[in-house]
C-alpha cells in the first residue's frame, strides 16, 4: 500500500459521486480518499445507503439534518453519530427505524422528562415487536411502565398486536 503522502493529485479532484462509490465498494482505495468529501450529504446525493457497522469508513456528519437522514435509512447508524447531533429527534427517528438503536441513546445528554423517555422506549419496543432484545435496553426505572403500556396497547387492539417473544418479569 502506498503512503498517503504519495496520493496522486487527481484523486483529490474526484467528483463526490465517484468518491462515495469508492468509499462504499472499494476498501483498498479507501485510505487514499479525501475525507473532506466523505459527508452524509454526499452519500445521499449519490443515492448510496450506508450501514455504519459494515463500512470501512464512516461519513462525516455536519449537521442535525444529516444525522437525521443518516439514521432514517438505518437506525443503528446512531452509534456513529457524533454526540452533539444525538438530539431527541434524531434518537426518536433511529428507534422508529430500528428499535435496537435504543442501546445507543445517550440518556444523560438528552435531558428528557420521564414521560418523554418512556415514549421513546415505547416507540423502540413497538418497532421491534416487543422482542426481549429491545426491552433489555430500556432503562431500569422505566421498564415496568414501558412493558405495561406495550401490553395494554396490544390488548386494546392498537399497534402492536404481538406479545413479547420472551416472558420477562
Instruction: Note down pLDDT in tens along the chain; length 169 residues.
Output: 444 454 455 555 556 566 666 555 555 555 555 555 566 766 666 666 666 655 555 677 888 998 998 898 889 989 989 999 999 999 999 999 999 999 999 999 998 999 999 999 999 999 988 888 889 999 988 999 999 999 887 754 555 434 434 333 4
Does the residue 3 lie in any domain? yes
Does the residue 39 lie in any domain? yes
Does the residue 104 lie in any domain? no
Q: Which residue range is the domain that position 32 belongs to?
A: 1-60
Domain count, the chain: 1
**Grid cell 444529516 in the structure block, residue:** 66
pTM (two decimals) = 0.68
Does the residue 113 lie in any domain? no
Tell me, what DSSP letter sits at residue 126?
H
Does the residue 84 lie in any domain? no
Does the residue 76 lie in any domain? no
Does the residue 27 lie in any domain? yes
Is 81:90 a contact under the CB 8 Å cutoff?
Answer: yes
CA distance 106 to 91: 9
| pLDDT tens digits, one per residue of 79-125 | 989 999 999 999 999 999 999 999 999 999 998 999 999 999 999 99
Runs of H (alpha helix) within the chain: 16-25, 40-45, 64-73, 88-97, 107-110, 114-127, 132-135, 143-155
**Grid cell 452519500 in the structure block, residue:** 43
Partner residues linked to 39 by β-bridges: 60
CA distance 30 to 161: 45
Amino acid at each position: 500500500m502506498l503512503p498517503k503522502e504519495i496520493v496522486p493529485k487527481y484523486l483529490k479532484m474526484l467528483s463526490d459521486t465517484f468518491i462515495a462509490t469508492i468509499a462504499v465498494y472499494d476498501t483498498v482505495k479507501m485510505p487514499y480518499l479525501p475525507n473532506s468529501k466523505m459527508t452524509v450529504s454526499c452519500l445521499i446525493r449519490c443515492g448510496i445507503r450506508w450501514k455504519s457497522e459494515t463500512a470501512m469508513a464512516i461519513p462525516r456528519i455536519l449537521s442535525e439534518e444529516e444525522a437525521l437522514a443518516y439514521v432514517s435509512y438505518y437506525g443503528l447508524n446512531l452509534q456513529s453519530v457524533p454526540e452533539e447531533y444525538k438530539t431527541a429527534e434524531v434518537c426518536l427517528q433511529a428507534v422508529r427505524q430500528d428499535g435496537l438503536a435504543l442501546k445507543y441513546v445517550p440518556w444523560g445528554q438528552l435531558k428528557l422528562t420521564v414521560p418523554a423517555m418512556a415514549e421513546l422506549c415505547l416507540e423502540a419496543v413497538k418497532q421491534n415487536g416487543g422482542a426481549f432484545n429491545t426491552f433489555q435496553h430500556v432503562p431500569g426505572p422505566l421498564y415496568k411502565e414501558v412493558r405495561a403500556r406495550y401490553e395494554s396497547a396490544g390488548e386494546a387492539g392498537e399497534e402492536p398486536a404481538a406479545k413479547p417473544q420472551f416472558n420477562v418479569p
